[in-house]
Amino acid sequence: MIDPTPVTPRRSVLYMPGANDKALEKAKTLPTDAIIFDTEDSVAPDMKVIAREKVAAAVASGSYGRRELTIRVNSIDTEWFEDDVRSAVAAGPAGVVVPKISTVDDVATVERLFEAAGASDHTRIWAMLETPTAIENAVSIATASERLTVLIMGTNDLAKELRAGLVAGRHPLLWGLARCVNAARYAGKVILDGVYNDVRDPDGFAAECRQGAEMGFDGKTLIHPTQVEPANEAFAPTPAEVEQSIRIIEAFQAGIAEGKGVVTVDGRMIENLHVDNARRAIAIADAIDSLD
């Protein structure tokens, strides 16, 4: 491959309920790029402390291979938040997923608690954007902290707050999704699409994956193991795209060496932006290959 920029594949990011021993064990065998061990929505109030302990043990176990491991804590306004964060950072995951981040002050609160808890430099903040306030503040949130590296769309809660329908094509949410993708690109952060709720509708899921990839999302959060492989496919360059990317870079470099002002590949004029896109496609493909 030619001059790739290293990337971390996050095509598929699967939520796993933190109090469910069977789910925690199952996650060890799934081809998901990343796991979010959940202590929030999937865990009943009387199981929160137990889930906190289970997910910390799972992260610290070293039993999940190359998968990127994160823990979703309960939101800032809950009684569990501070203890959740302390437990999570002590386990040393790649990231702590924090729900309902809506302002710069929310990010600062999380960052202060990270520092007080002695969080390792490798443990990053993954911020969920799922309120109208978060959408309005997307750029300021994305640029609020160097420790914040990943944004996640919380589309179910966002639709609820907007009183919008969760419909095929997601037209009520597209303006907000696009605004957050723009904020992520402005800040140089990763952004993950929200979940698809109907696990019995693979065609609808595939369509939403294609839409998310076309919009510029880096991957998708998932709620069921059957969604992993379709997401991996949707958010990865195809072999044909990789082959064309190689030809674009080679032709562009040869053109520069020969002093040509214009280079074409397959009848199309090639500019720097095409070369940048080609290099990213190759970097993603190389990163995916390294997982095998």
Could you identify the residue written with the tokens 């992260």? 59
Q: Which amino acid belongs to residue 246? A: I
Same domain, 110 and 255: no
What's the domain count of the chain?
A: 2
- pLDDT at residue 6, rounded to an integer: 58
Q: Which domain holds residue 273?
A: 239-289
> Residue 68: which pLDDT band, with cuts at 50, 70 and 90?
very high
What average pLDDT does range 284-292 have in this prediction?
84
Answer yes or no: is 259 within a domain: yes
One domain, residues 101 and 213:
yes
CA 148 to chain centre: 12
Whether residues 130 and 270 share a domain: the answer is no
CB atoms within 10 A of CB 136: 14
Collapsed DSSP state (helix, strand, coil) of residue 129: strand
The answer to whether residue 225 sits within a structural domain is yes
In this structure, the answer to whether residues 246 and 215 fall within a common structural domain is: no
Residue keyed to tokens 């002050």: 105
State which amino acid sits at residue 96: V
Same domain, 159 and 205: yes
Q: Which residue has the tokens 């160097």?
A: 146
pLDDT digits (tens, 9 = 90+) for 141-184: 999 999 999 999 999 999 999 999 999 999 999 999 999 999 99
Is there a single domain that holds both residue 93 and residue 157? yes
List the CATH number of the domain containing 133. Answer: 3.20.20.60
Tokens of 67: 């998968």
Looking at the structure, do residues 141 and 181 belong to the same domain, yes or no? yes
Residue 203 located in a structural domain = yes
Cα–Cα distance between 111 and 119 in angstroms, integer?
A: 9
* Within a domain: 7: no
DSSP 189-216: -EEEE-----TT-HHHHHHHHHHHHHHT
Neighbours of 254 (CB within 10 A): 11
Assess whether 199 and 213 both reside in one domain: yes
Q: Based on the fold, state whether residues 283 and 154 are members of the same structural domain.
A: no
- Looking at the domain assignment, is residue 67 inside a domain? yes
In a domain, 1, yes or no: no
Residues 145 and 277 in one domain: no
pLDDT digits (tens, 9 = 90+) for 200-255: 999 999 999 999 999 999 999 999 999 999 999 999 999 998 999 999 998 888 88
Q: Are residues 225 and 276 in the same domain?
A: no
DSSP one-letter string for 93-123 = -SEEEES---SHHHHHHHHHHHHHTT--TT-
Instruction: Over range 125-137, report the average pLDDT.
Output: 98
Helix pair 174-187, 202-215: axis angle to 10 deg: 50
Strands 12-17 and 190-193: unpaired
SS3 256: helix
In eight-state DSSP terms, residue 15 is: E
The pTM (predicted TM-score) of the whole model is 0.92
The residues, ordered by sequence, that sit 6+ positions from 105 with a Cβ below 8 Å of its Cβ are none
